[in-house]
Amino acid sequence: MTIQTPAPFPSRHAPEQVAFDRRELGVILGLYGRMVAAGEWRDYGISHLRDAAVFSVFRRTAENPLYRIEKHPKLRLKQGQYAVVGMDGQILKRGHDLRTVLRVLERKLIRAVD
């Protein structure tokens, strides 16, 4: 008869779904508010999936998203866990720092105001 002893370090299971934390949402909603004030964006949606969290922005409610701001924690040590994806699925910017990644959209805000 063999006795199984518990592992010294219990394994950590991946969370059931990925979500944006309060700091990340603050940064994203700050940009969203500025774009709404400029008249560029009108609606948003948030999806918390098993492997990613997605913040989608829309020009109108009943259309495809203009941009998706995605968080993929599995890519944290590789290309970076944050990405901005365009309407056509093209990755516009990817990186480790959310503020840096969102700068690609800040440039569009500057152009819209000018």
pLDDT digits 0-9 by tens, 44-93: 999 898 899 999 999 876 678 899 999 988 878 888 889 999 888 889 99
Q: Is residue 56 part of a domain?
A: yes
Q: Is residue 14 part of a domain?
A: no
Whole-prediction pTM: 0.77
Q: Is residue 70 part of a domain?
A: yes
Spatial contact of 53 and 69, defined as CB atoms under 8 Å apart: no
Name the 3-class secondary structure at 29. helix
Q: Is residue 35 part of a domain?
A: yes
Range of the domain at 29: 22-113
Residues 97-111: what's their mean pLDDT? 80
Number of domains in the chain: 1
| Of 96, 95, 92, nearest in space to 108 by CA | 92
Q: Is residue 5 part of a domain?
A: no
